[in-house]
Amino acid sequence: MIDLENLNPETRFDYLDEGEWVSLRICPLEVVRKIVKESTTKTDREYKVVDGSPYIFKEDKTDDNIYSEKIWEYCIVNWLIHDAKGEEIPCNTEMKKLLMNGSLRFATFIRDKLELLRKATDNSKKEELKNS
């Protein structure tokens, strides 16, 4: 069954501590293209050609920080995580940046679970091909 209202549903994973969880979704190609476009600028690049005349052309330059932050914003849908004081950490852009940039434990967890989702999607596509 395909939910046409939600083509890319989230998947909830238990986080490392009891009762905590993180909901993730894979970034479809259309969204990746949009994020690349939003995080890329054209810059002038000058090169000398054989005859010594300068030649200027446009070069795409992607800001990796902006790209990563937009990917995190899309893929990390929600969570229930607590800080060391037991207070709930809000799932917002600021906290996503803080945890992804500052916590190797959290960033590794997210990376591993997104890879698991990607593989599950790949396996699902292979099964569809076998059944057709």
Give the 3-state secondary structure of the chain.
Answer: CCCCCCCCCCEEEECCCCCCEEEECCCCHHHHHHHHHHCEEEEEEEEECCCCCEEEEEEEEECHHHHHHHHHHHHEEEEECECCCCCECCCCHHHHHHHHHHCHHHHHHHHHHHHHHHHHHHHHHHHHHHCC
pTM of the model: 0.79
Q: Write the DSSP symbol of residue 50.
A: T
Place of tokens 């002038």: 44
Rounded distance, CA 65 to CA 74, Å? Answer: 14
pLDDT at 8: 82
pLDDT at 7: 77
pLDDT at 57: 74
Task: Point out the residues of the chain with pLDDT beneath 70.
Answer: 1, 46-51, 123-132
Round the average pLDDT of the chain to a whole number and report it.
87
